[in-house]
Amino acid sequence: MSIIRIMGCMAGGVVMVASAQNKDKVLAQFEGDTYGEWTIEGKAFGTGPAKGTLPGQMKVSGYVGKGFVNSFSGGDGATGTLTSPLFTIDRKHISFLIGGGGWKEKTCMNLLVDGKVVRNAEGPNVVPGGSETLDLASWDVADLFGKKAQIQIVDVATGGWGHINVDQIVACDTPPPAPQRNVTREVTADKRWLLLPVKNGGQKCKVEVRSGAEVLRFFDIELAEGEPDWWAPLDAGAWQGKKLTLWADKLAAGSKGLENVRLADEDIPKAGLYEEPLRPQLHFSPRRGWNNDPNGLVFFNGEYHLFFQHNPYGTGWGNMHWGHAVSKDLVQWTEVDEALYPDALGPMFSGSAVVDHANTSGFGKDGKAPLVLIYTAAGNPATQCLAYSLDGRTFTKYAGNPVVQNITGGNRDPKVIWHAPTGRWIMALYVGRPEKLHTVELLASPNLLEWTTVSVVQGDKGGGHYLYECPDLFELPVAGSVEKRWVLFGADGQYAVGAFDGTTFKPESERLKGHCGTAYYAAQTFDNAPGGRRILITWLQAPSPGMPFNQCVGIPQELGLSHTSGGVRMTRRPVLELKALRERSVPFGPSDLAAGGKRPLADVEAELVELRVACELTPDAEVTLDLRGVPGRFEAGKQELTIAKHKTAWPVKEGRLELIVYVDRTCVEIFSQDGLHYAPVAAIPDAAKKTVTLAVEKGSAKGVQGEAHALRSCWK
Ligand code: FRU
């Protein structure tokens, strides 16, 4: 469309009037599948406009419509140019949206007249982190009136932020009002909470809370210009009675966002909390904001601690803090105060926690063992740091941070364990080496403070994700034997089984698939769990659209190892503690179902369901499940399970299908009863449907039996 307009004005020889106010003219809005008559050189721009964020890119926002120029095609390494046909300058300004890399003359947009650059602009970013938001900018081109010109978008940068994003190029006489820069407001912290108005999808601006020259908090936020979708609480408890300066940059023109920030005694009204329509009821999610990875999973002083990657100020990824929740039983979680805030070393990326029983770190006091958090400060460069606590509620960052200097550009997600046989701490650290070589470096320390690399586990080059981010390393017994094995996994769940002598991990298997769903990423296991249990919680990538929070974590699972014909494999089973959620349990069967037969499982009407079902299928059998409107299908011949739109291999032995299914408001999690298969899938059941049904479409199902449990909410 855009391209057609630009062409129209050139081919049609638009009559130019250098008069008062002409209507704005869109030069390019990149909504088509191709760039039309723009000339593409190199690979960076792909074959046409991007329709959103590209694989491996942080979430892009701020573009108009569906399409925009995004030179991340082929990643940061690709280069190229994109050049418009000639057009005539017939307005006083050219406005546009621009984002991505801020490398002068390398990731930029130029205005060319007679082939010479007469105006230029680049994106905002040159350091890791930053934001993929496109911002408004404009050129005053009044002095070029009547000239023939071209727009050229350039990406000749190949390192970090080696890409440029552009959209909505408009010729106009009055440029759109520029965002407000450096706006300030003074407040006195006379109440504990600062409440910040948020509009999901609104224009992002930068906000700081300052005391004099000291920056106490800093973050990006979609500050609502008027009526907010929700209020993001910021704890001002530490600065009571003080004068604070609220500072905002790039606040939308005319926005009341900063004026509307208010102080309150309460952070979040209790009424309606945890009852929101898309609030998961069996899974933990933060009260407000976004979560991704679970962090610092640990049992300390009688409580399970779940820290998590948290954006307290938006429902998308960003501003990484460590949020914090505690539980006595892994079922009911209480969210407590934010544990780690971004600081001068960077945002708080993922990491782990240990109980330092022998006080090797010296952080303990009066015989109390400290809880130690080991995390990535994702500044430039990223480093590994410590924080500690004696009460499990308040955290002090170690004054000697960082404890591990940057190894290469990308290193993050330290997972620390105590290795008793060698009497030292071992850290598994993700290290991304050049050319996308993913490795896990193993470091050792006597005291958590000083670390030495002891070995490197080589990963894949290129696309493979085994060992990409969030490693975890632990030992497990093999069921039914006296054997033990070590397991090393990465963020996508792929794992290797092997041996670890305190220095080197030796895999005995090829990398193995850890799950067969879609919504699983960056899982972690608990340190110090009672009874030596190995309990895992994953980030469950299940969105809650339109809510003041987004995403959740998976139900806790107990890990084990089993001998199979293919070798030793990891098993996952929902923790037994979840039985506490069963409100009403109805056993059913055994009964036989022929083709056309249907069985409501059982006469249970429930919104939240746990279903355990087993049956013997004929080799040609096809059975379907209706999980409150979320469709499921198992094809015995192909040994394939489909849940919602996701199809996966699901091998069964001798036609015996044995499933454990959890149905929540934003997801379905399915386990095989032998623990060898696990499929978490994001799906929103039909709010009006409260039944779960099994039907046989082909073949037959014998001895259909099990239990259906109506569950209560874990928040009550
Ligand atoms: C995995 C991850 C980690 C990183 C964190 C940042 O989802 O990318 O590698 O520490 O998220 O939020």
The reported pLDDT for the residue numbered 8 is 29
Q: Are 389 and 453 in contact (CB under 8 A)?
A: no
Confidence of residue 618 (pLDDT cuts 50, 70, 90): very high
Q: Strand locations in 156-272, DSSP E? A: 164-172, 183-188, 193-198, 205-211, 214-221, 230-235, 243-249, 262-264
Mean pLDDT over 23-43 rounds to 95
Please give the number of the atom of ligand 1 that sits closest to the Cα of 349: 10
If one counts every other C-beta atom within 10 angstroms of the C-beta of residue 431, the result is: 23
Q: What is the pLDDT of residue 461?
A: 60
pLDDT-based confidence at residue 286 (cuts at 50, 70, 90): very high
For the CA of 320, the nearest atom of ligand 1:
12
Distance from C-alpha of 54 to C-alpha of 323, rounded to nearest angstrom: 28
Count Cβ atoms below 10 Å from residue 668 Cβ, excluding itself: 27
Compute the distance from residue 650 Cα to the ligand 1 centre, in Å. Answer: 29
Residue of minimum CA distance from atom 9 in ligand 1? 469
What is the Cα–Cα distance from 51 to 581, expressed in whole angstroms?
42
Name the residue among 631, 456, 478, 639 with its Cα closest to residue 568: 478
- Phi, psi (deg, nearest 5) at residue 208: -130, 145
Structure tokens at 6: 């630009």
What is the side-by-side order of every strand in the sheet holding 334-340?
Answer: 334-340, 321-327, 303-311, 289-300, 549-550
Predicted TM-score (pTM) of the model is 0.84
Beta strands in 390-540 (DSSP E): 396-397, 410-419, 424-433, 437-445, 452-458, 472-477, 484-489, 495-500, 505-507, 520-525, 535-540
The rounded Å distance from CA 374 to ligand 1 centre is 14
- Report the amino acid identity of residue 135: D
Residue 547, CB half-sphere, CA atoms under 13 Å: how many? Answer: 26
Residue to mutate (ligand 1; options 58, 413, 541; most atoms within 8 A of CB): 413
Residues 290-315 as b or e (16 or more Cβ within 10 Å = b)? bbbbbbbbbbbeebbbbbbbbbbbbb
Q: Which atom of ligand 1 is nearest to the CA of 413?
A: 10
Q: Where are the beta strands (DSSP E) in 595-655?
A: 598-600, 609-617, 622-627, 630-635, 640-643, 646-649
Give distance in angstroms: CA of 491 to centre of ligand 1. 9
Does pLDDT of 372 surpass 60?
Answer: yes
pLDDT at 322: 98
CA angle 133, 135, 138 (to 5 degrees): 160
Which residues fall within 8 angstroms of residue 482, CB to CB, at 6 or more apart? none
pLDDT for 368 equals 97
Helix H or strand E segment including 96: strand 93-100
Residues 6+ apart with CB under 8 A from 228: 197, 198, 199, 260
Mean pLDDT of 675-682: 98
pLDDT of residue 265: 98
Pocket of ligand 1 (CB under 6 A): 292-293, 309, 320, 349-350, 376, 412-413, 469-470, 491, 521-522
**What number of other Cβ atoms are within 10 A of residue 657's Cβ?**
23
Alpha-carbon torsion (218, 221, 225, 228), positive or negative: negative
Catalytic residues: 293
Which residue has a Cα nearest atom 6 of ligand 1? 349
pLDDT recorded at residue 55 = 86
Written as one letter, the residue type at 69 is: V
Six-digit token pair at 15?
Answer: 């009559």
pLDDT band at 459 (very low <50, low <70, confident <90, very high): confident
Report the percentage of the chain scoring pLDDT > 70. Answer: 96
Closest to 503 measured CA to CA, from 427, 448, 431: 427
pLDDT digit string, tens, across residues 402-417: 999 998 878 999 999 9
**What whole-number distance in Å separates Cα of residue 383 and Cα of residue 320?**
15
d(CA 433, CA 106): 24
How far apart, in whole angstroms, are the C-alpha atoms of residue 35 and residue 290?
A: 35
Pocket-testing residue among 349, 430, 524, ligand 1, by greatest number of atoms within 8 A of Cβ? 349
Using alpha carbons, list the distances in angstroms from residue 1 to 8, 32, 36, 525, 556: 10, 7, 9, 51, 50
Count Cβ atoms within 10 A of the Cβ of residue 114 and give its class: 0-12 exposed, 13-18 middle, 19 or more buried: exposed
The one-letter code for the residue type at 194 is: L
Q: What is the mean pLDDT of residues 550-554?
A: 98
**Does 592 have pLDDT greater than 70?**
yes
* pLDDT surpasses 70 at 5: no
In the chain, the amino acid numbered 416 is V
Q: Which of 153, 124, 121, 151 is nearest to 138 (CA)?
A: 121
Mean pLDDT for 470-494 is 96
Atom of ligand 1 nearest to the CA of 378: 10
CA of 469, closest atom in ligand 1: 9
> What pLDDT does 629 receive?
96
pLDDT in tens, 175-225: 888 888 899 999 999 999 999 999 998 888 999 999 999 999 999 999 999
pLDDT at position 250, please?
A: 87
pLDDT at 10 over 60: no
User: Which of 350, 376, 524, 537, when mutated, tests ligand 1's pocket best, judged by the most ligand atoms within 8 Å of its CB?
Assistant: 350
Rg (CA), the chain: 28
Residue 551 token pair: 């995403």
- Per-residue confidence (pLDDT) for residue 467, from 0 to 100: 80
Ligand 1 centroid–CA 381 distance in Å is 15
pLDDT band at 599 (very low <50, low <70, confident <90, very high): confident
Mean pLDDT value across the chain: 93
Ligand 1 centre to CA of 350 (Å) is 6
Is residue 463 pLDDT above 50, yes or no? no
DSSP tag of 653: B
C-alpha closest to that of 276 among 538, 665, 716: 665
Take atom 8 of ligand 1 and give the residue whose Cα is closest.
469
d(CA 319, CA 312): 8
Q: How does residue 21 score in pLDDT terms, banded at 50, 70 and 90?
A: confident
Q: What is the DSSP letter of 191?
A: S
Q: Which amino acid is at 426?
A: I
- Distance (Å, whole) CA 495 – CA 570: 9
Quick check: 111 pLDDT over 50? Answer: yes
Block residue for tokens 């089993």: 562
pLDDT at 453 over 60: yes
Nearest CA to ligand 1 atom 1: 522
Q: Is the pLDDT of residue 602 over 60?
A: no
- 434 Cα–ligand 1 center, Å: 19
Using CA positions, which residue lies closest to atom 12 of ligand 1? 349
Q: Find the mean pLDDT for residues 427-434.
A: 91
Indicate whether 129 pLDDT > 80: no
Using the Cα atoms of residue 309, residue 310, residue 316 and residue 319 in order, give the sign of their dihedral: negative
**pLDDT, tens digit (0-9, with 9 covering 90-100), for 153-169:** 999 999 889 999 999 99
Under the banding of pLDDT at 50, 70 and 90, the label for residue 604 is confident
Confidence of residue 460 (pLDDT cuts 50, 70, 90): low
Longest dimension (CA), the chain: 89
* Nearest ligand 1 atom to alpha carbon 309: 12
Q: What is the DSSP letter of 577?
A: G
Distance of CA 248 to the CA centre of its chain: 26
Query: Mind giving me the DSSP string for 159-173?
Result: STT--EEEEEEEEES
Q: Which residues contact 395 (CB under 8 A, 6 or more apart)?
A: 339, 340, 373, 387, 388, 389
**Cα(672) to centroid of ligand 1, in Å?**
29
Q: How far is the CA of 415 from the centre of ligand 1 (A)?
A: 13
The pLDDT value recorded for residue 35 is 97
pLDDT of 603 higher than 70: no
What's the rounded Cα separation, in Å, for the pair 218 and 231? 17
Instruction: Give mean pLDDT, residues 482-511.
Output: 94
Mutate-to-test residue for ligand 1 from 376, 412, 540, highest number of ligand atoms within 8 A of CB: 412
Gap between the Cα atoms of 133 and 187, Å rounded: 29
pLDDT at 550 over 60: yes
Q: Is the pLDDT assigned to residue 7 strictly greater than 50?
A: no
What is the structure's pLDDT at 9? 32
How far is Cα 299 from Cα 306, in angstroms, rounded to an integer? 9
The three-class DSSP label of residue 8 is helix
**Contact between 163 and 102 (Cβ < 8 Å):** no
Cα gap 104→86, rounded to integer Å: 24
> Shortest CA distance to 181 belongs to which of 104, 132, 107, 248?
248
